A and B are shown apart, each in its own frame.
Chain A
Amino acid sequence: MSLIIDVLTGGVRGGTSILYAALGETVSQRSGVINLGTEGGMLGGALTAYIIAAETGNPWLGVLGGGIVGAALALVHALLVLWRGANQFASGLMVLFLALGLTSLFGASYVGRTITPFTTWAIPVLSDIPVLGPVLFDQDPLVYLSYLAVPAAWFVLFRTRAGLLLRTAGERSDALTVHGADVRVVRTWAVGAGGFLAGVGGAHLSIAYTNTWFENMVAGRGFIAVALVILAAWGPVKVMAGAYLFGAALALGPALQARGIPVNQFLLHVIPFVLTLVVLAALGRRSSNAAPAELQRVFENGAPAT
């Protein structure tokens, strides 16, 4: 039982940065743009949040700054793919290298700095609920904020005019003209908003989860976020579940080790990736149908129907 609580708690704690990034990637992909640069947006967000938290002592300003830098990096991607016709995969990887370089150049002097981080804050009453209490309600404020961000993202995507435009850009961009909107403008907003969320995810990593800045500390979580969106069929709530699954896969190894149970942790790490492939294969055509139509064309990239 304590193992389950540990793994679930670790899954929520470690999955939150992935959750923010994947939520952002959902917004972006719903509009028809895939951003492999999410990994870079997280790096930029992680460093910016750390710098601001170190300089101002206010972690909330750090989150804001991290989001803004994440958005800025995503807008570089938007500029290239939407306004300059670059390939989405190549441009995304370019953004990753850009962020790797920038955070290395400007982050070196912050490696050893101490900051005022977010701390765990148990919500009275709720945190006393068996199992769910420690798992969900004994976490840091950014985790709690993510509980609001998921339904908010769902609401904006599916219940507002902005969300309708965004999804139309991803499904039938030619229909946008009926609404008097420019597809490139709509997508630019979506990619920027997605980048903001990726930056917040990075901020969680540096100023709430590890309280440290380290070169390339995102270590693949941004790529996981991109894969996760596809596994979750572009739905914010499923994204949340998937993020915790990836988080739990990372938390299971240490939890077992601390109980003296020998385990090759890479057998655990690989589970979510294999699961994603299996689910995609099992859904087959249906998973493709769940994809925004214009995104589907990006994947196919002019490839033949087979």
Chain B
Amino acid sequence: MARFTIRTGATALAVAAVVGLAGCSSPVAAENASSSDGAPGTGGTAIGFIMVGPRDDYGYNQAVYEASQILADEHPDLEILTAENVPEDDSAVTTMEQMIDRGAKIIFATSYGHLDAAQQVAEDHPDVVVVQQGNTIAGDILPNSGTYFGTVYEPMYLAGIAAGAATESGKLGYVYAFPIPQTIANINAFERGAQTVNPGVETITVSTSSWCDPAAQREAANSLLSQGVDVITQHQDCTKTVIDATEAAGAHTVGYHADASELAPEGWLTGAVWDWAPLYSDIVATILDGKFTGSEFNANYRVGYKTGTNPFVLAGYGPSVSAETQAAIEDAQAFLATDAGSPFVGPVLDQDGAVKVADGVTPDYAEIDAMDYFVQGVVGDLAN
């Protein structure tokens, strides 16, 4: 029994510690709560970026990081807060809250899976603008939130032309993470681009179930190569392992996110490269002007070749891409910039031959963003 009293004493101590902490934390809370009366996103001292991976991954997150640093030059009075390796779960909320506590009134949540957390933070902080990169908000959009992305499937369509011209086996490989709509659109556009120069070509898909799992990438690349695939591209955050394995096997690489031609001096064809800076710049300028609510960014904003400022551009060509192929790609790019242009001008058939886009129809960005099927010529099953 003596011991029990000691334990009770300790409980009291623990409770006191907890209460003490609560006590001393409340004044800070009050201070933070005194926000400006201005429009959402104005009056802050910092801009926050959360990234799902490391900032130098030769890929998705590196592109985000580099563009965020350009904002630092444009807005020397604003601190740029970056957080790497932020998981796509509830802990992202905590990280964003900490950014807000450090004066951020603008937050970029840059991974597809950050949307739930971004929405929650936007709801809890009407004075903070939270924009999310790549996902789509279903239903009503809060006055202080939005999503943005480019039509990355457009450059992938162009890269598909280079791949279709390069392949000798007629088999292209696609290593991807998850069948999210932007990935599905990329894979479909790549296959359709290749078909324009090589009608019977196939794109074989392998999912790694992770944005970056190098071991799974290596096995995925090897299993594709052993099937006779001679051009490999990918939708992964970190891209080095797949490019290395492809180059070592003497196959061709179509890059993603960044120009990695130095990793594949022989096999590099081209790729989709990201340049977020102009778009980030526009978004931040709109927010700081107090004009975010009701603007084009207070929505599911998409930009492509038609508007001229697609953040995704085609990388430089590798040594094996012929002048003829380059000309075909330039023609296709000019076509994409026209009103009727799209990688998905009907007829588009799915893997079972069902018509998904009718003959002659040009689907809009929203329809392409909602793709949930692979087109004919793609080998693989969505649900894996």
Chain A residues in the interface with B (C-beta under 8 A): 2, 5-6, 9-10, 13-14, 108-109, 111-112, 114, 117, 119-120, 205, 209-212, 214-215, 217, 219, 250-251, 253-255, 257-260, 262-265
Q: Given A254-B216, A257-B206, A210–B241 Cβ distance below 8 Å? A: yes
Which residue on A lies nearest to B219, using beta carbons? A254
* Of A108, A205, A212, A260, the contact of B204 (CB 8 Å cutoff): A260
Interface pair B381/A214, CB less than 8 Å apart:
no
Q: Are B384 and A264 in contact (CB under 8 A)?
A: yes
Determine the chain B residues whose CB is within 8 A of the CB of A260 once the complex forms. Answer: 204, 379-381
Give the shortest distance, in Å, between B263 (CB) and chain A (any CB): 7
Are A250 and B204 within 8 A (Cβ)? no
* A210 / chain B contacts, CB cutoff of 8 Å: 214-215, 217-218, 241
Which residue of chain A has its CB nearest to the CB of B379?
A260
20 extra interface residue pairs, beta carbon distance < 8 Å, beyond A112-B57, A254-B223 = A10-B219, A13-B222, A14-B218, A111-B57, A112-B240, A114-B263, A210-B218, A211-B240, A214-B212, A214-B214, A219-B213, A250-B215, A255-B223, A257-B220, A257-B384, A258-B226, A259-B227, A260-B381, A262-B380, A262-B384
Q: Which A residues are in CB contact (< 8 Å) with B209? A: 265
Residue of A nearest to B225 (CB): A258
**Is B54's CB within 8 Å of the partner chain A?**
yes
The docked-state distance in angstroms from the alpha carbon of A25 to that of B264 is 38
Q: Are A214 and B384 neighbours in the complex by a CB distance under 8 Å?
A: no
- Determine the distance from Cα of A262 to Cα of B382 in the docked complex, in whole angstroms: 8
B219: chain A residues within 8 A (beta carbon): 10, 13-14, 250-251, 253-255
Which residues of chain A have C-beta atoms less than 8 A from B262's C-beta? 114
B246 to chain A, nearest CB (A): 12
Residues of chain A lying within 8 A (CB to CB) of residue B213: 217, 219
The answer for the CA separation of A111 and B222 in the assembled complex, in Å, is 22
A-B residue pairs, 10 tightest by C-beta: A262-B381, A210-B214, A112-B56, A258-B223, A254-B223, A260-B379, A257-B206, A254-B219, A255-B223, A111-B54
CB distance from A203 to the nearest CB of B (A): 14
Known contacts A112-B62, A211-B240, A257-B205; A217/B223 CB under 8 A: no
Provide the residues of chain B in CB contact with A257, threshold 8 Å: 205-207, 220, 223, 380-381, 384
In the assembled complex, which residues on chain A have CB atoms less than 8 Å from the CB atom of B107?
A: none
In whole Å, how far is A303's beta carbon from the nearest beta carbon of chain B? 24
A210 to B217, CA, bound (A): 8
Report A257 CB to chain B, min CB distance, Å: 4
Q: How far is the CB of B174 from chain A (nearest CB, A)?
A: 10
Q: B28 near A: Cβ within 8 Å?
A: no
The answer to whether A209 and B215 touch across the interface, beta carbons within 8 angstroms, is yes
Residues on A with C-beta less than 8 A from B381 are: 257, 260, 262
B379 proximity list for chain A (CB < 8 A): 260
A212 and B384 contact, CB distance less than 8 A? no
Q: Say yes or no: B215 contacts A217, CB within 8 Å.
A: yes
Instruction: Give the number of residues in B that approach A within 8 Å (Cβ atoms).
Output: 41
Residues of chain A lying within 8 A (CB to CB) of residue B244: 117, 211-212
Check if B241 sits within 8 Å of A258, measured CB to CB: no
In the assembled complex, which residues on chain B have CB atoms less than 8 Å from the CB atom of A258? Answer: 173, 204, 206, 220, 223-224, 226-227, 229
A120-B244 Cα distance, complex, nearest whole Å? 12
Residue B248 contacts which of A9, A13, A119 (CB distance < 8 angstroms)? A119
* B109 at interface, CB cutoff 8 A: no
- Taking CB atoms and an 8 Å cut-off, the chain B residues in 238-266 that contact chain A are 238, 240-241, 244, 248, 262-263
- How far does the Cβ of B369 sit from chain A's closest Cβ, in whole Å? 24
Nearest CB in chain B: distance from A13 CB, A: 7
Q: Contact between A215 and B54 (Cβ–Cβ < 8 Å)?
A: yes
- Are A214 and B223 neighbours in the complex by a CB distance under 8 Å? no
11 contacting pairs across A/B (C-beta < 8 A): A6-B223, A112-B57, A114-B240, A114-B262, A210-B214, A210-B218, A214-B212, A214-B214, A251-B223, A257-B220, A260-B380
For B64-90 the 0/1 string (1 means CB < 8 A from A) is: 000000000000000000001100000
Q: Using a CB-CB cutoff of 8 Å, which residues 182-220 of chain B contact chain A?
A: 204-209, 212-220
A14-B219, A254-B223, A258-B224 known; A215+B206 contact, CB < 8 A:
no
A264 to B244, CA, bound (A): 27
- B-side contacts of A14, CB under 8 Å: 215, 218-219
B58 partner residues in chain A, CB cutoff 8 A:
112
Query: Any chain A CB within 8 A of the CB of B383?
Result: yes
CB-CB under 8 A from B206, the residues of chain A are 254, 257-258
Provide the residues of chain B in CB contact with A263, threshold 8 Å: 384
- Nearest neighbor of A206 in chain B, beta-carbon distance: B214
Name the residue on A nearest B240 (C-beta).
A212
Quick one: closest B residue to A247, CB to CB?
A: B219
Residues of A within 8 A of B224 (CB): 258
Are B384 and A265 in contact, with the CB atoms below 8 A? yes
> Residue of B at shortest CB range from A134?
B226
Given known pairs A205-B215, A210-B217, A257-B384, the reply for A215 and B85 (CB within 8 Å) is yes
**A197 to chain B: closest CB distance in Å?**
19
Complex CA distance for A13 and B215, rounded to whole angstroms? 10
Residue of A nearest to B210 (CB): A219
Which residues of chain A are within 8 angstroms of B56 by Cβ–Cβ distance?
Answer: 108-109, 111-112
Question: Which residues of chain A have C-beta atoms less than 8 A from B62's C-beta?
Answer: 112
Identify the closest chain B residue to A221 (Cβ). B215
CA distance A257 to B203 in the complex (A): 12
Contact B227 A217, beta carbon cutoff 8 Å: no
Residues of B within 8 Å of A119, CB to CB, are 248
Which residues on the A side are within 8 Å of B215 (C-beta)? 14, 205, 209-210, 217, 219, 250
B213 to chain A, nearest CB (A): 6
Q: How far is the CB of B222 from chain A (nearest CB, A)?
A: 6
Chain A, Cβ-Cβ closest to B260: A114
The winner among B57, B226, B263, B379 for most chain A CB atoms within 10 A is B226
Task: Write the nearest CB–CB distance from B60 to chain A, whole angstroms.
Answer: 13
Task: Name the CB-closest residue of A to B222.
Answer: A10
Residues of B within 8 A of A212 (CB): 214, 238, 240-241, 244
